[in-house]
Amino acid sequence: MLFLAIVVTVTLVAWGVLVYAAIDFGQDARSGEPTAWVFLVVTTLGAAAALFVTLILGARIVTLFRGRNEPPPQPSPARPVGGRRRRID
C-alpha cells in the first residue's frame, strides 16, 4: 500500500506540473508561437493521462484500505416468473 501511495503522489505531482506547463504553452500559443500549440496538446494529453492513472490507483488504495481484494460476489440472476404457456388452438 505504501508503494501505491508513493506512485499516486508522484502521478499527482506530475499532473500538476503538466497542467502548469499547459497553461504556460497556452499563453505562448496565443501570443503567436506556432510550435507552442504542439506542446500544448502534448502536455494536455499527458495531464489527462496522469490524472486518470492517479484516480485509478487511488481507487485501488481505497479498495485495499477497506480490506477487499476482490469484488463482491454477484447475485445469481433471478428466474423469470411464469414459464411456457400452453398454446390453445
> Any idea where the domains of the chain sit in the sequence?
2-66
Q: Looking at the predicted structure, is the pLDDT value of residue 77 above 80?
A: no
Q: Does residue 72 carry a pLDDT above 80?
A: no
Higher pLDDT, 65 or 59: 59
Q: What is the pLDDT of residues 10-61, one digit of tens each?
A: 999 999 999 999 999 999 999 988 899 999 999 999 999 999 999 999 999 9
SS (H, E, C) 50-71: HHHHHHHHHHHHHHHHHCCCCC
